[in-house]
Structure 1
Amino acid sequence: MLPLPNLDDRSYDDLVEQARSLISVECPEWTDHNPSDTGIILIELLAWLTEMTLYQVDQVTDKNIETFLGLLNPLENGKPWTLKESATHESAAREAAQKMATRQTIVELRQRYRAVTIEDFEQLLLEDWNRSHPDRIVKRARCLPQRNLEATSLNDRYSPGHVSVVVIPHTPLATQPKLREDLWAFIDKRRLLTTQHHIVDPKYIPLKIRARLYLEDGAQPKNIRKKAIGEVEDFFNPLSSGSYWEGKGLPFGQNIYISDLYHLFDRIPGVDFVEGVTLVVSGEGSVLTGLTQKIDPKGALRNRLSVENTQGFAVGAPIWLDPSSCDREEATIQATDATAKTVTCDRSFNKYHEVGTLVARLSQQHTDRQELAIDNSLIGLNLDDHELVAIEVDETSFTIMERLGNDEWRLIDLRSES
Structure 2
Amino acid sequence: MTIPKPNLDDRTYASLIEEARSLIPIEYPEWTDHNPSDTGILLLELIAWLTEMLLYRINQIPDQNYAVFLDLLNSKTQLSDSKLIDKQNDTPIANLSEAIQQTVVGLRKRYRAVTREDFEQLILTDWNESQEAKGYLPIKQVLCLDKINLDNLKKPKDTTLHHVSLVIVPQWENDPPPSVSAEVKNSLEKWLNKRRLLTTRLHICEPKYVPLSIQITLSFVDGADIDSVKSNAVDQIKKFFHPYDSGDYWKGRGWRLGQTVYHSELYKLLNDLPGVKAVKTLKLQNAETKLKKSINSDTQDLEVENIEGFASQQIILIDAEGEYSESATIKTVTVHKKILSLEQPIKKAHNQGRSVILTGISLDKNQLIKPGIKIQSEEDNQ
Same topology, TM > 0.5? yes
Alignment of structure 1 residues 370-385 onto 2, 5 Å = 381-384=361-364
- Given the alignment, which residue of 118, 121, 124 partners 2:122? 124
Distance in 1 (alpha carbons) for counterparts of 2:10 and 2:260: 60
Distance in 2 (alpha carbons) for counterparts of 1:139 and 1:108: 25
CA contact (8 A) 1:148 1:157 kept: no
Query: 1:389 Cα shift?
Result: 2.1
Per the alignment, residue 193 of structure 2 pairs with 188
Per the alignment, residue 72 of structure 2 pairs with 71
C-alpha RMSD of matched pairs (Å): 4.6
Question: Structure 1 residues 331 and 199 mapped into 2: Cα distance closer, same or farther (>3 Å)?
Answer: closer
Do structure 1's residue 207 and structure 2's residue 212 form an aligned pair?
Answer: yes
Query: 1:156 Cα shift?
Result: 5.9
Unpaired segments of 5 or more residues in structure 1? 86-92, 288-309, 320-329, 334-340, 347-358, 402-409, 414-418
Query: 1:41 Cα shift?
Result: 11
- Deviation per CA, 1:121-145, whole angstroms, max 9, x where unpaired? 1222111111113542211112111
Per the alignment, residue 399 of structure 1 pairs with 376
Question: Structure 1 residues 193 and 56 mapped into 2: Cα distance closer, same or farther (>3 Å)?
Answer: same
Distance in 1 (alpha carbons) for counterparts of 2:318 and 2:254: 40
Distance in 1 (alpha carbons) for counterparts of 2:4 and 2:317: 78
Per the alignment, residue 296 of structure 1 pairs with none
Per the alignment, residue 366 of structure 2 pairs with 388
- Deviation per CA, 1:64-99, whole angstroms, max 9, x where unpaired? 2222222223387999995249xxxxxxx9783323
Query: 1:4 Cα shift?
Result: 7.5
TM-score when normalising by structure 2: 0.68
Distance in 2 (alpha carbons) for counterparts of 1:166 and 1:383: 14
Question: Structure 1 residues 61 and 11 mapped into 2: Cα distance closer, same or farther (>3 Å)?
Answer: same
Per the alignment, residue 171 of structure 2 pairs with 170
Question: Structure 1 residues 187 and 332 mapped into 2: Cα distance closer, same or farther (>3 Å)?
Answer: closer
Distance in 2 (alpha carbons) for counterparts of 1:61 and 1:261: 65
Counterpart code for 2:6: N
CA contact (8 A) 2:168 2:206 kept: yes
Query: 1:211 Cα shift?
Result: 2.1
CA contact (8 A) 2:317 2:358 kept: no
Counterpart code for 2:109: Q
Query: 1:253 Cα shift?
Result: 2.2
Counterpart code for 2:84: L
Per the alignment, residue 291 of structure 1 pairs with none
Question: Structure 1 residues 233 and 331 mapped into 2: Cα distance closer, same or farther (>3 Å)?
Answer: closer
Per the alignment, residue 380 of structure 2 pairs with 411
Distance in 2 (alpha carbons) for counterparts of 1:80 and 1:279: 73
CA contact (8 A) 1:204 1:389 kept: yes
Tell me the secondary structure at the aligned position of residue 147 of structure 2: strand
- Deviation per CA, 1:369-396, whole angstroms, max 9, x where unpaired? xx9x956x5xxx3334xx3322221x21
Distance in 1 (alpha carbons) for counterparts of 2:14 and 2:80: 47
Counterpart code for 1:345: Y
Alignment of structure 1 residues 310-325 onto 2, 5 Å = 314-316=295-297
Report how many aligned residue pairs link the two structures: 325
Question: Structure 1 residues 127 and 258 mapped into 2: Cα distance closer, same or farther (>3 Å)?
Answer: same
CA contact (8 A) 1:173 1:180 kept: no
Per the alignment, residue 238 of structure 2 pairs with 233
Per the alignment, residue 102 of structure 2 pairs with 104
Question: Structure 1 residues 184 and 215 mapped into 2: Cα distance closer, same or farther (>3 Å)?
Answer: same
Distance in 2 (alpha carbons) for counterparts of 1:185 and 1:204: 26
Per the alignment, residue 290 of structure 1 pairs with none
Tell me the secondary structure at the aligned position of residue 272 of structure 1: strand
CA contact (8 A) 1:212 1:276 kept: yes
Query: 1:365 Cα shift?
Result: 4.7
CA contact (8 A) 1:313 1:361 kept: no
Distance in 2 (alpha carbons) for counterparts of 1:43 and 1:219: 100
CA contact (8 A) 1:253 1:389 kept: yes
Query: 1:237 Cα shift?
Result: 0.5
CA contact (8 A) 1:238 1:251 kept: yes
Distance in 2 (alpha carbons) for counterparts of 1:45 and 1:276: 96
Tell me the secondary structure at the aligned position of residue 411 of structure 1: helix
Per the alignment, residue 347 of structure 2 pairs with none
Counterpart code for 1:52: M
Per the alignment, residue 6 of structure 1 pairs with 6
Alignment of structure 1 residues 21-170 onto 2, 5 Å = 51-74=52-75, 82-84=83-85, 96-132=94-130, 133-136=133-136, 137-153=138-154, 155=156, 159-170=160-171
Distance in 2 (alpha carbons) for counterparts of 1:363 and 1:197: 32
Counterpart code for 1:398: I
Query: 1:177 Cα shift?
Result: 2.5
Per the alignment, residue 350 of structure 2 pairs with none
Counterpart code for 1:400: S
Query: 1:6 Cα shift?
Result: 2.8
Per the alignment, residue 271 of structure 2 pairs with 266
Query: 1:45 Cα shift?
Result: 8.2
Counterpart code for 1:6: P
Query: 1:162 Cα shift?
Result: 0.5
CA contact (8 A) 2:13 2:52 kept: no
The share of aligned pairs that are identical, in percent, is: 32
Per the alignment, residue 345 of structure 1 pairs with 324
Counterpart code for 2:377: I
Distance in 2 (alpha carbons) for counterparts of 1:177 and 1:208: 31
CA contact (8 A) 1:115 1:124 kept: yes
